[in-house]
Amino acid sequence: MGFSKTFPKKSDKSAYPNWIEIYLTEEEERTAGEECRSRNNEVMRECIDDARMIVQEKRLLESQGVLSRIAVALFEKRASHEVFFKEKKAKEKFDSETTGL
């Protein structure tokens, strides 16, 4: 089964929303995954560059271990996860389906 996400749709007739489940096609899921990987690669490169600047600025002993640990710490703080991209794609699909009704 593919990725799915449930969204509330407000109703004029009830105070409670109707919950609509949106499923991504394999192609939509693959596209979201590729977007995520591309973005994560870009973020990791930025983190490595930032780690290099931090090491130089703080005059730390420059070694691959120090650079990689700093870069990974930065990446963990910045990186978006694949689920975020899939949820974003599902929200776009939900918005386009519900506004078209």
Question: Which mean pLDDT values do the consecutive 10-residue runs of the chain (101 residues) have?
Answer: 87 88 93 89 92 87 79 82 81 86 53
Say if 11 falls within a structural domain. Answer: no
Say if 74 falls within a structural domain. Answer: yes
Which range marks the domain in which residue 79 is found?
Answer: 51-83
| Number of structural domains the chain divides into | 1
Say if 55 falls within a structural domain. Answer: yes
Say if 34 falls within a structural domain. Answer: no
Position 25 scores a pLDDT of 93
Position 28 scores a pLDDT of 92
pTM (whole model) above 0.85: no
Say if 44 falls within a structural domain. Answer: no
Say if 63 falls within a structural domain. Answer: yes
Nearest CA to 67 among 82, 81, 83, 53? Answer: 53
- In the chain, the amino acid numbered 54 is I
Position 19 scores a pLDDT of 93
Say if 35 falls within a structural domain. Answer: no
